[in-house]
Amino acid sequence: MEKKKRRLFSKILLGLTAVFFYVPILYIILFSFNSSRSLTKFEGFSLRWYEKMFADSTMMQSVAYTVIIALLATIISTILGTLTAIGLSKSKKIMKGIVEQVNNLPILNPEIVTGIGLLMFFSALGVRKGFLTLLLAHIMFCIPYVILSVTPKLRSLDPNLADAALDLGATPMQALWKVIVPQIRPGIISGALIAFTMSFDDFIISYFVTGNGVNNISILVYTMSKRVNPSINALSTLVILLITLALFIVNIIPIVKEKKGSKLT
């Protein structure tokens, strides 16, 4: 009896959790196909909001900026973050400690504080707000996550691995590229993945450092949401679709590879 009750409780709880998490998402998707302007009443299926979205150049521009910034920020922060993590793993303890502390600041600080700090920094330098400031800011908040996801892999590495490679005649670059990087690849990949989604989804920091018409999707949704505009639903649906697809691919590829691999052996 006791056990049955508990099982029932856990099922109900999980069911409600799923409803809570997914109803808003389904709601957006549903209303993106609404034929009327209403956000509350579904009056029939139509694609007019999608047509509107594709015709709206600011919307399309924001999608382009979001994707380009996310890709660039991911590539640059992954390379820089990985090199830094490797460099730090061979550095003195004090140096490592200081860098790790400072590196954690953007993660521990409220995003709004990071945002205004960068805003004042760029203005002090006299850099015009726009694409460059947005990209620099994104690289800045992505690198700490890359370092955080690569460092544990480096720590679990046999410290003699690089020395062994050098002993066997590899140059430092070869040791790095052929021995260390393959070992920490999972950390690098997950770091890149985190960096991409952080950049793709960022709103707060972007909001403070951008300007002159350079907007990403988040900023666009924020500024447009003051008035009812169902094209936002269409845009949101597009974002949901893209992210789900990306996650699906990232999660499915290793499984498929593994299956193929196991068939071969």
Partner 1 sequence: MKQFRNMALPYIVWMGAMIVVPMLLILLYAFTDKGNDVATIRFSLENFARFFSDTVFMSVLKRSLYIAIITTVICILFGYPIAYVIANRSEKSKLFWILLITLPTWINMLVRTYAWMGILQDEGIINRMLGFLGIGPVHMIHTSFAVVLGMVYNFIPFMILQIYTGLTKMDKSYLEAASDLGANSVQSFLRVTLPLSIPGVISGITLVFLPAVSSFFIPKLLGGGQYVLIGNVIETEFLTSGDWNFGSAISLAMAVIIMFSMYITKKVDKDPAANGREDS
Which among 60, 28, 78 has a CA at the least distance from the CA of 194? 78
Stretch that binds partner 1, among 5-13, 44-52, 182-190, 254-262 (CB under 8 A): 5-13
| Binding mask of the shown chain, residues 180 to 219, with x at each position contacting partner 1 by CB under 8 A | -----------------x--xx-xx---x--------xx-
Q: Whole-number minimum distance, CB 120 to partner 1, in Å?
A: 4
Query: Is residue 157 a contact point for partner 1 (CB under 8 A)?
Result: no
Q: Between 54 and 157, whose beta carbon lies closer to partner 1?
A: 157
In the complex, minimum distance from the CB of residue 265 to partner 1, in angstroms, rounded to a whole number? 24
Stretch that binds partner 1, among 55-63, 126-134, 183-191, 241-249 (CB under 8 A): 241-249
Q: Which of 21, 45, 158, 182 binds partner 1 (CB under 8 A)?
A: 21
Does position 103 interact with partner 1 (CB under 8 A)? The reply is yes
Binding status of residue 164 toward partner 1 by CB under 8 A? no
Angle at CA of residue 25, ends 75 and 135, nearest 5°: 25
Kindly tell me which of 68 and 264 has the beta carbon lying closer to partner 1: 68
Binds partner 1 (CB under 8 A): choice among 59, 69, 119, 188: 119
Contact with partner 1 (CB under 8 A) among 162, 184, 192, 234: 162
Position among 99, 132, 157, 179 found at the interface with partner 1 (CB under 8 A): 99
Nearer to partner 1, 123 or 264 (CB): 123
**Of residues 26-85, those binding partner 1 (CB under 8 A):** 27-28, 31, 39-41, 80-81, 83-84
Instruction: Give the angle subtended at the CA of 73 by the CAs of 70 and 77, to the nearest 5°.
Output: 140
**What CA–CA distance (Å, rounded) separates 78 from 72?**
10
102 lies in the site for partner 1, by CB under 8 A: yes
How many whole angstroms separate alpha carbon 213 and alpha carbon 68? 15
Q: Please tell me whether residue 106 binds partner 1 under the rule CB under 8 A.
A: yes
